[in-house]
């Protein structure tokens, strides 16, 4: 059985002949080296240091690794369409042979592939990111740690000219249609932002971008502005029940988890009570003067057919 030699004892043994020679010739040119060696051997060896506790004065290695793990998982959750993770390397072997770590990676647009290893204690967190779980990891292109850092910086420095292209794994046909419409709106908005960076005084793109903007309020409601709208109507199976003309600053709010729609607007015309009464009387006179067939001419045959159906 081979044992590891005691390095300090071995040094002392090798130093002994020189030490004897130094004693007989104190002016020998190597005497000062022998004295320094003796002092070093007399000094107790330092206590072993836990690498995870080495610090730069602000953070330990352990803290920095935990930040690295958290940031990597956050990036996976932000862009699950780019990321994958697996218990095994692309050769089919468990990571580092014992399965105490798992591998994750991404193919970054323009920049290229990156990979990281995370401890298995974070596997459940990875499953919650929405990234793709693979039986074996994807092909490693030979990138180094330096390559990963450079590729991440290259990707982060690339202007975002299009919306992220990802969607949930399972959607109903109706949800897919709504998703595609939303993606198209986002894509159009991104293009308008790009044009505004080229020409900040492009008022048309600024106006269109404002129309695209969907604001989520702190209480979870959604609010969208329609600055061009000047007419608002509420139409039911009975026809036009509410008509507002001359509106401005029209906003539509989706509330109560999508169960309530409210419309907010400014009315340019302020109607007095006298004017309101006059309009009411004119409307009643118009109704009284109606002849058979007038309503069908105004509202259309489809309305009258639906009116007869619900009246039965």
Q: Is residue 286 part of a domain?
A: no
Q: Is residue 24 part of a domain?
A: yes
Is the pLDDT confidence value at 33 over 90? no
Q: Is 118 exposed, middle or buried (0-12, 13-18, 19+ CB in 10 A)?
A: buried
Instruction: Pick 267 or 212 by higher pLDDT.
Output: 267
pLDDT of residue 94: 94
Domain coverage including residue 14: 7-42
Average pLDDT value over all residues in the chain? 75
Mean per-residue pLDDT for 96-121? 92
Is the pLDDT confidence value at 199 over 80? no
Is the pLDDT confidence value at 78 over 60? yes
Q: Is residue 140 part of a domain?
A: yes
Q: Is residue 302 part of a domain?
A: no
For the chain, how big is the Rg over CA atoms in Å? 38
pLDDT of residue 54: 76
Instruction: Pick 178 or 129 by higher pLDDT.
Output: 129
Q: How many domains does the chain have?
A: 3
Q: State phi, psi for 104 to the nearest 5 degrees.
A: -135, 160
Q: What is the pLDDT of residues 216-246, one digit of tens each?
A: 455 555 667 777 788 888 888 877 788 887 7
pLDDT of residue 71: 93
The model's pTM? 0.43
pLDDT of residue 19: 54
CA angle, 26 then 32 then 36, to 5°: 130
- At which of 92, 126, 156 does a domain end? 156
pLDDT of residue 217: 52
Mean per-residue pLDDT for 44-68? 79
Given a contact cutoff of 8 angstroms between Cβ atoms, the answer to whether 134 and 84 are in contact is yes
SS3 labels along the chain: CCCCCCHHHHHHHHHHHHHHHHHHCCCCCCHHHHHHHHHHHHCCCCCCCCHHHCECCCCEHHHHHHHHHHHHHHHHHHCCCCEEEECECCCCCEHHHCCCEEEEEEEECCCEEEEEEEEHHHHHHHHCCCCEEECCCCCCCCCCHHHHHHHHHHHHCCCCCCCCCCCCCCCCHHHHHHHHHHHHHHHHHHHHHHHHHHCCCCHHHHHHHHHHCEEECCCCCEEEEECCCCEEEEEECCEEEEEEECEEEEEEEEECCCCEEEEEEEECCCCCHHHHHHHHHHHHHHHHCCCCCHHHHHHCHHHHHHHHHHHC
Instruction: Pick 86 or 224 by higher pLDDT.
Output: 86
Mean per-residue pLDDT for 193-212? 59
Q: Is residue 213 part of a domain?
A: yes
pLDDT of residue 211: 52
Q: Is residue 49 part of a domain?
A: no
- Round to whole Å and give the CA distance between 181 and 174: 11
Mean per-residue pLDDT for 93-116? 92
137: tokens are 């990891």
Is the pLDDT confidence value at 83 over 70? yes
150: tokens are 């450079």
Q: Are residues 210 and 244 in the same domain?
A: yes
Is the pLDDT confidence value at 6 over 70? no
Q: Is residue 23 part of a domain?
A: yes
45: tokens are 């060896």
Mean per-residue pLDDT for 87-108? 93
Is the pLDDT confidence value at 1 over 50? no
Q: What is the pLDDT of residues 122-174, one digit of tens each?
A: 999 999 998 999 999 999 999 999 999 999 999 888 776 554 555 555 567 76
Mean per-residue pLDDT for 256-260? 76
Given a contact cutoff of 8 angstroms between Cβ atoms, the answer to whether 209 and 190 are in contact is no
Mean per-residue pLDDT for 253-275? 74
Q: Is residue 20 part of a domain?
A: yes
Given a contact cutoff of 8 angstroms between Cβ atoms, the answer to whether 282 and 271 are in contact is no
pLDDT of residue 90: 92
């Amino acid at each position: 059985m081979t044992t590891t030699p005691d390095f300090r004892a071995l040094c002392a043994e090798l130093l002994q002949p020189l030490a004897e020679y130094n004693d007989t010739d104190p002016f020998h040119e190597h005497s000062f080296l022998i004295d320094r060696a003796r002092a070093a051997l007399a000094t107790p060896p330092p206590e072993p240091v836990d690498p995870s506790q080495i610090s730069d004065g602000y953070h330990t290695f352990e803290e920095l690794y935990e930040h690295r793990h958290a940031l990597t998982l956050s990036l996976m959750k932000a862009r699950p369409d780019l990321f994958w993770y697996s218990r095994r390397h692309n050769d089919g072997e468990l990571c580092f042979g014992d399965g105490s770590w798992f591998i994750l990676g991404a193919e970054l647009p323009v920049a290229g592939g990156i990979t990281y290893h995370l401890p298995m204690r974070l596997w459940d967190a990875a499953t919650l990111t929405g990234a793709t779980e693979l039986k074996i990891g994807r092909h490693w292109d030979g990138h180094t740690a330096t390559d990963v850092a450079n590729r991440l910086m290259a990707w982060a420095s690339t202007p975002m000219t299009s919306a992220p292209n990802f969607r949930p794994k399972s959607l109903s046909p109706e949800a897919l249609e709504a998703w595609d419409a939303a993606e198209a709106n986002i894509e159009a908005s991104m293009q308008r932002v790009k044009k505004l960076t080229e020409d900040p005084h492009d008022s048309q793109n600024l106006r269109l971008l404002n129309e695209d903007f969907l604001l989520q309020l702190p209480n979870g409601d959604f609010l969208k502005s329609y600055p061009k709208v000047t007419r608002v109507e509420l139409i039911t199976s009975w026809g036009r029940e509410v008509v507002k003309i001359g509106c401005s600053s029209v906003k539509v709010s989706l509330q109560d988890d999508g169960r309530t729609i409210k419309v907010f607007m400014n009315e340019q015309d302020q109607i007095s009570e006298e004017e309101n009464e006059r309009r009411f009387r004119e409307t009643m006179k118009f109704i009284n003067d109606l002849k058979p067939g007038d309503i069908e001419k105004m509202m259309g045959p489809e309305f009258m057919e639906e009116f007869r159906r619900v009246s039965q």
